[in-house]
Amino acid sequence: MTVDLPPDDELRETLRGLSEAPGVGHPFGAAPGGTSWERVFRPLVAPLVEHSAEGDPIWLVPSGILHHVPLHAVGWRDSVTLCERNPVTVTPSATVTTRLLAPRRGAGGGSVPLVAGSDAERPLAHARTEVETAATALGADGERLVGERATKTAVLARIALGGMDIVHLACHGRFDAAAPLDSWIQPSPDPPAPGPSDRLTARELCGLRLDVRLVTLGACERLVAHTSRRSPARHGAWRPPSP
Rounded to 10 degrees, what is the CA torsion of 112, 117, 119, 121? 180
Arithmetic mean of pLDDT over the chain:
74
pLDDT surpassing 80 at residue 225: no
- Is the model's pLDDT at 112 over the cut of 70? no
- What would the pLDDT profile of 16-42 be if each residue is shown by its tens digit? 766 654 444 444 444 444 457 788 888
186, 201 contact by CB (below 8 A): no
pLDDT at 140: 63
Q: Which residue has the higher pLDDT, 240 or 188?
A: 188
129 pLDDT band, cuts 50/70/90, is confident
Of residues 100 and 233, more confidently modeled? 100
pLDDT for 172: 84
Instruction: Give the model's confidence band at 240: pLDDT under 50 very low, under 70 low, under 90 confident, else very high.
Output: very low
Once rounded to an integer, what is the mean pLDDT over residues 169-185? 85
* CB burial of residue 111 (10 Å; 0-12, 13-18, 19+): buried
Q: Return the higher-pLDDT residue of 9 and 109.
A: 9
Which residues on adjacent β-strands are paired with residue 31? 34
Using an 8 Å Cβ cutoff, are 75 and 30 in contact?
A: no
**What's the pLDDT tens digit per position in 133-175?**
777 777 765 577 887 888 888 889 888 887 777 788 888 888 8
CA distances to 39, 87, 95 from 101, rounded to whole Å, are 32, 15, 10
Contact 168, 147 (CB under 8 A): no
Predicted confidence (pLDDT) per residue in 28-80, tens digit:
444 444 457 788 888 889 999 999 999 999 988 888 888 888 899 888 777 78
| Beta strands per DSSP E along the chain | 30-31, 34-35, 58-60, 75-77, 80-81, 88-90, 110-115, 164-170, 172-174, 184-186, 200-201, 214-218
Q: Which residues contact 80 (CB under 8 A, 6 or more apart)?
A: none
Please compute Rg for the chain using Cα positions. Answer: 22
The pLDDT of residue 5: 79
The predicted pLDDT at position 53 comes to: 93
Report domain extents, the chain.
8-90, 110-218
Q: pLDDT of 115-125, one tens digit each?
A: 656 666 677 77
The Cα 81–Cα 215 span in angstroms is: 31
